[in-house]
Amino acid sequence: MADTERRWCFADQLGPHFLDGKDQPVLLVESRAVLRRRRFHRQKAHLVLSALRHRAAELGEQARFLQTDTYRQALEELREPVTVCGPTSHAAARFVQGLDAVTVLPSRGFVTSRDDFEEWAAQRGRKPLHLEDFYRTVRRRTGILMDEDGPVGGRWNLDAENRERPPAADELGLKLYRPQEDEIDAQVRADLDEAERRGEVSFVGRDGPRLFPATRAEARRALRHFVEHRLATFGPYEDAMLTGDWMMSHSVLSASMNLGLLDPAECARAAETAFREGQVPLRSAEGYIRQLIGWRDYVWHVYWHFGPGYRRRNALRARRRIPGWFAGLDADSVQARCLSTVLRDVRDRGWTHHIPRLMVLGNYGLQRGWNPAELSDWFHRCFVDGYEWVMAANVIGMSQYADGGAITTKPYAAGGAYIDRMSDFCHGCAYRPSVRTGDEACPYTAGYWSFLARNEERLSGNPRMAPQLRNLGRMHDLDEIVARERRRRRP
């Protein structure tokens, strides 16, 4: 029977929903080669190894935990057939499908299956695969936030109500659930220190106390803490940013879900229950649930639907290399307060919420014409919740518009006015968001117009960009803006 066959669980498949029975034998592999492939954030490496070793300790004799150089070596040492849930990257999928002793099962850890998405996509025909249509389909399929006659409250999407400016810096005063490190964490840290001393691995970012759950028990406590203490204010401020509050009302559970410690369906149901019991407003519950059963599932399916070539798309012909100060998270060398703050958050924690990722980090790279595949890999390495499938649609499609509009209707490019409106970053900054030339010119404002000038022809057929492109011809200082941005080495 299926639950008697040994289940090989990758380090992002650590929850019980990746097993067919509570007593099913398990294979866990810690591969040293994985950390040599990329220069990961130190805290990401620590979190993944800590979660893997904690899972091995929990399972005890139920699991074979092998620490080898490669996965293939572990399978050769095991010498028995295994099953594995579909892995989360094209490379890993090709690897397991080519192994004789491995039976590959459908993927888990998402609300909808790949067949569900392909059926929906086929029904769309040649129409764009827009998130909103998919999200409504998933709501109908799951019944989440649905009444008998349609969506709860009569509206599918309350995003228009969730764009409030940030509150005062100390107004929210919300706390994050903090897990407690143990001897497993200490050993992981010691092992990483030793591997680094030997020159076997190299990291970016700073080490620090573990901020994110490494066990399912911790992840469930973090979920309950979020629902009870922060979900109510999530909706209004989900797009806002504050210098002194790196998490605000966000769940900070993406790493837990991407490690497989939480099932996104249970998170969505917890939010729905809180709404139906009167604990949180609809706009907060709907906004959070849309990110889970809408965007997260959608990003996963886009990765597989468009195939391995999607990450190499480059519709805007952006070929500039990422500069060393950005790649190395050198926040202290940056004057622009928004970018310095967000880079510092990544350096110190390996995490920021979705708006700094999109409108500060991604927006800056888009304006400068950085290679989208290289930027996607940077996000993959530097974020504790970063995986190739996560960053393909988020960076290639949404942030960098490198797919030419396959999943978005226009580039997410914006000047300093947007950042000023949605954050406190511009207060005390060396640059002024309303200025586009001279020493006080905001690099985002000047960068926005330089981006439009560089891509005017490529964007000319996009009706949503027509008003902005018309303004280019009226700007007497455009040549000066473009020339200055070409010379700019760092903001």
User: pLDDT for 80-89, tens place per residue?
Assistant: 999 999 999 9
pLDDT beyond 50 at 231? yes
Q: What is the pLDDT of residue 174?
A: 78
Average pLDDT, stretch 226-247?
94
User: Residue 5: what pLDDT?
Assistant: 92
CA distance 86 to 13: 10
**pLDDT tier for residue 175 given thresholds of 50, 70 and 90:** confident
pLDDT attached to residue 172: 75
Average pLDDT over residues 467-486: 89
Judged against a pLDDT cut of 80, whether residue 481 lies above it is answered with yes
Looking at the predicted structure, is the pLDDT value of residue 169 above 70? no
What is the DSSP pairing of strand 102-105 with strand 82-85? parallel
pLDDT score at 78: 96
Q: What does the alpha-carbon distance between residue 359 and residue 380 come to, in Å, rounded to a whole number?
A: 17
Model pTM? 0.95
Q: Which residue has the tokens 């139906």?
A: 276
Q: Return the higher-pLDDT residue of 489 and 35.
A: 35
- Residues 232 and 31: their CA atoms lie apart, in Å, by 41
**Percent of the chain with pLDDT strictly greater than 90:** 89
Q: How far from 406 is each of 165, 279, 491, CA to CA, in Å?
A: 30, 38, 31
Q: Residue type for 191, please? A: D
What DSSP string describes 426-476?
TTT-SSBTT--SSTTB-HHHHHHHHHHHHTHHHHTT-GGGHHHHHHHTT-T
In this structure, are residues 335 and 236 in contact, taking their beta carbons and an 8 Å threshold?
Answer: no
pLDDT the model gives residue 107: 97
In this prediction, residue 470 has a pLDDT band, given cuts at 50, 70 and 90, of: very high
Tokens 């952006």 sit on residue: 318
Q: Which of 347, 326, 344 is nearest to 206 (CA)?
A: 347
What are 178-218's pLDDT values in tens digits?
999 999 999 999 999 999 999 999 999 999 999 999 999 99
What fold characterizes domain 2-105? Rossmann fold (3.40.50)
Location of structure tokens 């397991």 = 96
Residue with tokens 């391995």: 308
pLDDT band at 2 (very low <50, low <70, confident <90, very high): low
pLDDT of residue 456: 94
Check pLDDT > 70 for residue 170.
Answer: no
Helix (H, G, I), strand (E, B) or coil at 303: helix
Q: List the domain boundaries for the chain.
A: 2-105, 114-176+211-306, 311-487
User: What is the C-alpha separation between 233 and 231, in angstroms, rounded?
Assistant: 5
Sign, CA torsion 376/377/378/384: positive
What is the C-alpha to C-alpha distance for residues 374 and 243, in angstroms, rounded to an integer?
27
- Sign of the Cα torsion 189, 190, 193, 195 reads negative
pLDDT at 133 over 70: yes
CATH top class, domain 114-176+211-306: mainly alpha
Lowest-pLDDT range, 101-115, 126-140, 221-235, 391-405? 126-140
453: which residues sit within 8 A by CB, 6+ positions away?
A: 472, 478, 481, 482
Query: 384-403: b or e for each residue (b if 16 or more CB lie within 10 Å)?
Result: bbbbbbbbbbbbbbbbbbbb
Residue 1 binned pLDDT confidence (cut-offs 50, 70, 90): very low
* Contact assessment for residue 11 and residue 63, using Cβ atoms and an 8 Å cutoff: no
List pLDDT tens digits, range 326-341. 999 999 999 999 999 9
Alpha-carbon separation of residue 319 from 292, 315, 396, 415 (angstroms):
33, 11, 13, 22
Q: Tell me the pLDDT tens digit for each residue of 239-253.
A: 999 998 999 999 999
State the Cα–Cα distance between residues 205 and 474, nearest whole angstrom: 44
Whether residue 236 contacts residue 283, with contact meaning beta carbons closer than 8 Å, is answered with yes
Q: How far apart are the first and last CA of the chain?
A: 60
Q: Phi and psi of 423, rounded to 5°? A: -155, 180
CA distance 230 to 224: 10
> What is the Cα 294 distance to its own chain's centre?
14
Residue 3: band (very low, low, confident or very high) from pLDDT cuts 50, 70, 90: low
pLDDT of 484: 85
The pLDDT, as a whole number, for residue 343 is 98
Percent of all residues in the chain with a pLDDT value above 70, rounded to a whole number: 99
Q: How does strand 150-151 pair with strand 146-147?
A: antiparallel
Q: Which spans in 79-215 are helix H?
A: 90-97, 114-124, 131-142, 183-197
CATH topology of domain 311-487: DNA Cyclobutane Dipyrimidine Photolyase, subunit A; domain 3 (1.10.579)
| Collapsed DSSP state (helix, strand, coil) of residue 61 | helix
Residue 114 buriedness (CB in 10 A; 0-12 / 13-18 / 19+): middle
Q: What is the mean pLDDT of residues 230-236?
A: 94
Closest CA to 245 of 328, 330, 356: 356
